[in-house]
């Protein structure tokens, strides 16, 4: 298993899912200075891979803030080719292709970035998809990318290497790509988001590491782990939910709750896409409007301390967000932060869980099921274990909410379950057991 440290970078890009699920880039006025270093460590994993060690690579970032509100993103390093060519990429569960700039790209959108030189790699080859296509153009929220299809050796860390098909972009529009602080995107969504057969990173990874997980922090210790999850990052048991739509990592939720009380807003039909490439929370416009009205947060923040926990019900368990997670609070006032985003059927309507949710919960993606696991993230040791019973709770009845059971228990609602392997590092659910804590 491979664990890559990914550092938060406050910058002027918000990425979300459009109706076609690519990336929405909101970008202007960014000035960046990036300095990198490589740091390695090993630790035991809860893992379904053949290896029980992890390699951690840290990325040091420096930046200057602009006058505009900054968003967060998390990215790390990969290498492509032999000899290896290094790139920084966003690990994005909301898209399905690996895209890096090509050495033939001379437009301003490619200028600041490292570029893939096919002629410099002894393992590079030009490829086509099953339709005979050897190139493609992808339209993003505010720009376009076009390029040719290649196959080459891809390495995540030192030991997880495989041949991968990808797009080497020879054209990238100036907006937004000239200003983004990373070179490319490694899509970790399902096959229907990819360019064709053989272009899906999750399928390529599945024979080496059928699970991967994200621990996201505002500090310097964020990481993505391929081959399992690190039990010491978990402050609770794991709640598993089956993937309902194999496109994004999209799971069903039974209802939306306030302080663990269901509000009857879903009629069993709500869905959530967990998106590591999105810096925000979003949802269907009608439900976002209803939630905003029901929360009834005052613009002057005068009732902020009385706002409810906003929860999402999976079976008889609730994953809760605190007001700090779903509200924008500043010296200028308070506002409901869920963005209205209408994704049409069959994938929508759907909620999008980005960084605010990912900082509360470790997310584990299991291709073999497929399923997504959720556990309270351990940022502050014992304090997070105390908070875990509030962040993952049972549906509230007349006696009030009770903490989620610490042992492995089944939950209703499409087969969700909690698995051991949290703070105690016991046997993991969804194929994640077998390792021990570092």
Positions marked catalytic: 92, 275
Half-sphere exposure of 239 (CA within 13 A, CB side): 33
Q: Rounded CA gap, 76 and 212, in Å?
A: 14
Contacts of 41 (CB under 8 A, 6+ apart): 54, 55, 56
* Residue 219 DSSP code: S
Q: Rounded CA gap, 57 and 160, in Å?
A: 13
Other CB atoms closer than 10 Å to residue 148's CB: what's the count?
19
Half-sphere exposure of 58 (CA within 13 A, CB side): 10
Instruction: Report residue 317 as tokens.
Output: 């368990």
With H, G, I as helix, E, B as strand and everything else as coil, classify residue 353.
strand
Other CB atoms closer than 10 Å to residue 300's CB: what's the count?
10
| CA dihedral (374, 376, 378, 379) positive or negative | positive
* Residue 203 DSSP code: H
CB 52 within 8 A of CB 1: yes
């Amino acid at each position: 298993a491979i664990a890559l440290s990914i550092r938060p970078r406050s910058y002027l890009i918000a990425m979300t899912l459009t109706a076609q699920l690519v990336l929405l880039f909101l970008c202007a006025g960014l000035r960046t200075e990036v300095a990198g270093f490589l740091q390695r460590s090993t630790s035991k994993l809860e893992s379904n891979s053949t290896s029980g060690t992890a390699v951690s690579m840290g990325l040091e970032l420096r930046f200057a803030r602009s006058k505009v509100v900054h968003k967060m993103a998390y990215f790390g390093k990969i290498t492509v080719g032999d000899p290896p060519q290094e790139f920084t990429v966003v690990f994005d569960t909301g898209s399905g292709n690996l895209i890096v700039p090509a050495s033939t790209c001379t437009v301003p959108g490619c200028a600041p970035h490292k570029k893939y030189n096919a002629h410099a790699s002894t393992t590079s080859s030009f490829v086509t998809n099953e339709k005979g296509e050897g190139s493609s153009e992808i339209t993003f929220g505010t720009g376009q990318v076009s390029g040719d299809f290649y196959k080459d050796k891809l390495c995540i860390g030192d030991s997880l290497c495989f041949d991968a098909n990808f797009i080497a972009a020879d054209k990238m529009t100036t907006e937004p790509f000239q200003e983004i602080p990373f070179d490319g995107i490694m899509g970790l969504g399902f096959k229907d988001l990819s360019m064709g057969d053989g272009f899906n990173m999750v399928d390529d990874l599945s024979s080496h590491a059928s699970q991967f997980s994200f621990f996201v922090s505002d500090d310097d210790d964020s990481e993505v782990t391929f081959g399992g999850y690190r039990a010491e990052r978990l402050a609770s048991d794991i709640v598993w939910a089956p993937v309902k739509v194999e496109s994004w990592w999209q799971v069903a939720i039974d209802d939306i709750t306030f302080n663990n009380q269901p509000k009857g807003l879903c009629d069993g039909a709500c869905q959530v896409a967990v998106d590591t490439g999105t810096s925000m929370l979003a949802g269907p416009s009608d439900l976002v409007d209803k939630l905003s009205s029901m929360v009834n947060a005052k613009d002057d923040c005068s009732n902020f301390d009385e706002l409810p926990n906003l929860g999402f019900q999976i079976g008889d368990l609730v994953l809760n967000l605190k007001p700090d997670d779903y509200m924008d609070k500043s010296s200028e006032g308070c506002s409901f932060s869920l963005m209205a985003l209408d994704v049409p059927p069959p994938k929508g309507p759907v909620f999008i869980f980005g960084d605010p949710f990912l900082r509360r919960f470790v997310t584990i993606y299991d291709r073999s099921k497929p399923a997504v696991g959720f556990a309270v993230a351990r940022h502050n040791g014992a304090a997070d274990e105390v908070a875990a019973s509030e962040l993952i709770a049972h549906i509230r009845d007349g006696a009030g909410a009770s903490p989620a059971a610490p042992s492995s228990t089944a939950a209703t609602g499409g087969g969700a379950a909690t698995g051991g392997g949290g703070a105690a590092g016991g046997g993991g659910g969804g194929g994640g057991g077998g390792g021990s804590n570092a």
